[in-house]
Structure 1
Amino acid sequence: MYSRKIALILFTCFAITNLQAQVNFKPGLRGGLSLSTISEMHADYRPDFYFGGFGEINITKKYALQPEINYVKQGSNNVARNFTDPETNTQKVEYLDLKLDYLTFSMINKFTFEGFQVLFGPSLDVRLNDNLVRRKNYNDLAFNIGLGYRMPSGLAFEARFKKGFLDILDSDYYTNDSNNDYLFGDYNTNINFQIGISYSFNVK
């Protein structure tokens, strides 16, 4: 029994030492094109940009945990709002560009196979600025999933999809029952595509 305990302690120490020898940290930068819209509305995708930094914690040769801080510009273009003009009592349509800027805190799981990468993880989005008239939530919770390819130099190409879960605006302001083409749903969430590059620095 005593020898088993000694063997278990030695094995644990060896595993911890081996893990510490494999773990390394690489800071990096990322940026690119942000294409976004808001669900359940008649609107176009809004093209803009994102950029940020990350720390790649390589736990094994194939798996890394990557905390990130990103600035992302989101929203929707040409949002159709059908409303009744109170002065003329006539139906009118106005087209609005809804703009939302977020500071995003993400925790990305990254698996790498021969340079090809699979990425996924949650995000907390803190809204910095917007031009909405009425809001449901100032912040958002989202999930990211994507693919990438990293070159030996540390340069990587990425494509991600990010889906928000919180209702972000008061749809009653934009909704008018007289025209179904412009009806908003009751659950309007962020949808964001990111296409860009990243670079991780080798730190010795």
Structure 2
Amino acid sequence: MQCKKSAHILFVFFAIIKLQAQDFKPGLRGGLSLSTISEMHANYKPDFYFGGFGEINLTKKYALQPEINYVRQGSNNVARNYTDPDTNTERIEHLDLKLEYLSLSMINKFTFGQGFQVLFGPSLDIRINDNLVLRKNYNDFAFVAGLGYRMPSGLAFEARFKKGFLDILDSDYYHNDTNSHYLFGDYNTNINFQIGISYSFDTK
């Protein structure tokens, strides 16, 4: 329900912008998502992302690009050290943490030369699913920065880095303070790399 509502709002927003903008190009994007959670002993989680955008070309070199993306994030092989209450012994289990977000971004896009692009902007990530045991924030606020290259056909190749600012989980559950072997901290934020392609449609 939340996904459908957000998608409807963005569709209406794009429709209004298209009426106002002289050069508006809708598009699709998708690719590989590599993510982890900061201050935890864990591996990067490979997954995927996909979404849509509306490119509003304000000048020849600058465009404002609102986006809605579905992004699968998290962290693999998180080592949790705990005391087994039945045997009173120390144990370690390895968990794959999964987070799914509906990401609403406002990207600033600068184009140089024949198609080289610099991208950056804020993102509001609305959590729609996870397998965390204890959470601190259901949603996240992040900053996105990246590079891209767009061909004359509208096909583009992108590499982005997205860094969350909100503490997303309660790390007390995932470690035991008596174990100093694993790197854990109290400020656990999302770290996400995106490598993929996009395509903008020429509506003229």
Task: State whether TM-score is above 0.5.
Answer: yes
Structure 1 position 177, deviation (Å): 1.5
In structure 2, distance between residues paired with 1:143 and 1:92: 37
Equivalent residue runs for 1:7-156 within 5 Å: 23-114=22-113, 115-156=115-156
- The answer for the alignment partner of 1:17 in structure 2 is none
The residue identity in structure 2 corresponding to 1:133 is V
Q: State the secondary structure of the residue aligned to 1:55.
A: strand
Unaligned runs of 5+ in 1: 1-21
Unaligned runs of 5+ in 2: 1-20
- The answer for the alignment partner of 2:179 in structure 1 is 179
In structure 2, distance between residues paired with 1:89 and 1:183: 23
In structure 2, distance between residues paired with 1:183 and 1:88: 26
The residue identity in structure 2 corresponding to 1:94 is E
- The answer for the alignment partner of 2:165 in structure 1 is 165
The residue identity in structure 2 corresponding to 1:171 is S
In structure 1, distance between residues paired with 2:183 and 2:61: 47
In structure 2, distance between residues paired with 1:33 and 1:80: 24
Structure 1 position 129, deviation (Å): 0.2
Structure (1 or 2) with the larger CA radius of gyration: 1
The residue identity in structure 1 corresponding to 2:139 is N
The residue identity in structure 2 corresponding to 1:102 is Y
Q: State the secondary structure of the residue aligned to 1:180.
A: coil
Structure 1 position 181, deviation (Å): 2.3
Q: State the secondary structure of the residue aligned to 1:181.
A: coil
Q: State the secondary structure of the residue aligned to 2:181.
A: helix
Contact 1:176 1:182 in 2 (8 A): no
Q: Structure 1, residues 31-65: CA drift from partner, whole Å, max 9, x if none?
A: 00000000000000000000000000000000000
Q: State the secondary structure of the residue aligned to 1:172.
A: helix
Q: State the secondary structure of the residue aligned to 2:59.
A: coil
TM-score by length of 2: 0.88
In structure 1, distance between residues paired with 2:130 and 2:148: 30
Counting matched residue pairs gives 185
Structure 1 position 183, deviation (Å): 4.4
